[in-house]
Amino acid sequence: MDRSLDGNRFAVIPGLKMKHISSKSYMLLAALPLAYLAVFYFYPLVKIFIVSFIPDKAWGPGNLKKLVTSGIYLQTLWFTTWQAVVSTVLTLLLALPGAYVFARYQFRGKELLRSFTTVPFVLPTVVVAAAFHSLLGPRGLVNAVLMKWFNLMSPPVDIDQTIALILIAHVFYNYTVVVRIVGGYWSHLESGLIESAKMLGASPARAFLKVTLPLLSPAIMAASLLVFIFCFSSFGVILILGGARFATIEVEIYRQAIHLFNLPMAAALSLLQILFMFAFMWVYTRLQRSRSLALKPESRRVTQKRVDSVADWLILAANVGFMVLFLGLPMISLLIRSVTTESGLSFVFYKTLFENTTDSVFFVPPVDAVVYSLGFALVALLISLILGLPAAVFLAGPANRLRSVLDPMFMLPLSTSAVTLGFGFIIALDKPPLNLRSSPALVPLAHTLVAFPFVVRSLLPALRSIPPKLRESAVVLGAGPWKVWRSVDLPILSRALVVAAVFAFTISLGEFGATLFVARPQTPTMPLAIYRFLGQPGVVNYGQAMAMSTLLMLVSAAGFMLMEKFRSGHGGEF
């Protein structure tokens, strides 16, 4: 077969001519996603820049000066940084033993346990906050049990709206990041190096410090930075569990824009957040590249061993027990509190979701929030696939300068916080021809911006795995472009399309930061409903928050399990 076909192997994309495809025609694949980013990403960021520096149609960096001279904003920046550092250190300390277990042991139920440890990470932040309210809050399961056992009149555990609860929630949320990144890397390290160190007289602890830890450092640094980024940009956990006492940059953007109507200062904070996040993501991508330059990876069959000795069983039992208790208790508590009333077990809180009493915090029945969430998620799913598929096909094509530029550009929404994106929407899309501030369409458009990079990254590995010879053979046998796509590409891509669709759906369903800015009161989503319920007094509101959080938790967990079933690759990857 003529090897020259390799250079033109993407000429069989639907809608394009097979032979002598022009670079201009091929680049049309990137036109639609680029146009979307231009309107709904870059334009709002430019508006944030303008409002920051030209608030009154006159140039002036006054708001940015306030950020570095005002004690209030310096304190916000300091709290954002140090809580992220402490959260990262705690996550490393608690998750590294789990990474070791997954990297070095073979045991029954390992893949199921790995999936279980990942469920907290895919939960919406409002569900995580609600779960810890249900476990450790004043009405939480721990206080309820202790008050009943010891006949107490007030809750003995009082860590609600404290930094301790925030840190615990951050570790819960990011535990799997370290387990997956470090554990996956650790499982491929050459075990012979450690054995050689032991043969030369090094104790297990010394071998770990002198050999294993330096080899793991690229993965540990990458995982640490990713956890730091997530904690630095934390919004829902801080807003709900921290209350008015604590504010990260994200929370302060929300307060300045929504509560104080100080759009110039909110814009200045957003600009600062963007600069920090771009810098962090740049460092993270460099660390990712350094991980690929490590020693030659070794098969897991060589590096992993069966659990034989008593010491191995103790290590495994201790780590599995910690994972099940630490990660499982908040979720189990959420489920229990959603069906627990003063008179016993009941589904009354679920039934009240279908009611709209006179003192409700909604303009519509709470169940409508479920309907709106599902509708927005389906629209976001559809738009994300329409944008993500051509973008992924373009990026999987022959290397060129434009692809090297667009590859990181399509990922830029990942390096921008959802709060900043939502704020950009409300200040940019308020004038014709893009006067969408009061339109419900703004919600799925914002959700698409968050989901689009995940869709692209879900499709790329499958597209790049398609052997060019399969397409060449189909062409030689007389298949046209559409038939080649339908018969060759689509069957291979189908599993990745399912993963991308589920990813987009679940991201939209649980998105909170941007939705808090762009959703209208008459079209609330499930995360907004949970937030409003938790902010209102009364047993019924609390029970409804637990019930809706449980529904969202179950849907998110089911979506993740479906993705795990259909995605390709090893479970150790993140």
Per-residue confidence (pLDDT) for residue 198, from 0 to 100: 64
Model confidence pLDDT, tens digit, residues 41-88: 999 999 988 888 776 666 666 666 777 677 788 899 999 999 999 999
Counting residues of the chain whose pLDDT is more than 90, the rounded percentage is: 40
Q: Which of 445, 440, 441 has the alpha carbon at shortest distance from 364?
A: 440
Mean pLDDT score, 456-469: 81
**CB-based contacts of 20, cutoff 8 Å, min separation 6:** 8, 11
Q: Which of 548, 134, 554, 559 has the alpha carbon at shortest distance from 372?
A: 548
Q: In the chain, count H helices and then E strands.
A: 28, 6
Per-residue confidence (pLDDT) for residue 56, from 0 to 100: 64
**Which residue(s) pair with 306 in the sheet?**
106
Q: Are 531 and 516 in contact (CB under 8 A)?
A: yes
**Which residue(s) pair with 434 in the sheet?**
431
Per-residue confidence (pLDDT) for residue 208, from 0 to 100: 74
Q: Where are the beta strands (DSSP E) in 35-176?
A: 105-106
Structural domains of the chain in order of their starting residue, each with its CATH number: 1-11+21-55+344-574 (1.10.3720.10), 64-338 (1.10.3720.10)
Mean pLDDT lowest among 45-59, 113-127, 210-224, 250-264: 45-59
Mean pLDDT score, 435-461: 90
From residue 541, how far is each of 128, 153, 366, 371 by CA, in Å? 17, 22, 11, 19
Mean pLDDT score, 336-352: 89
pLDDT tier at 240, thresholds 50, 70, 90: very high
The phi, psi pair for 522, rounded to 5°, reads -85, -5
**Which residue(s) pair with 521 in the sheet?**
none
What is the rounded distance in angstroms from the CA atom of residue 317 to the CA atom of residue 170?
24
- H/E stretch holding 228 reads helix 213-232
Model confidence pLDDT, tens digit, residues 478-500: 666 666 666 677 777 888 898 89
In angstroms, what is the C-alpha Rg of the chain?
25
Model confidence pLDDT, tens digit, residues 364-383: 778 889 999 999 999 999 99
Counting residues of the chain whose pLDDT is more than 70, the rounded percentage is: 82
**CB-based contacts of 548, cutoff 8 Å, min separation 6:** 353, 366, 369, 370, 526, 529, 530, 533
- 235: tokens are 């919004």
- 340: tokens are 């627990």
pLDDT tier at 308, thresholds 50, 70, 90: confident
Helices (H), 429-480: 442-464, 468-476
Cβ count within 10 A of residue 63:
22
Site of tokens 């032991």: 198
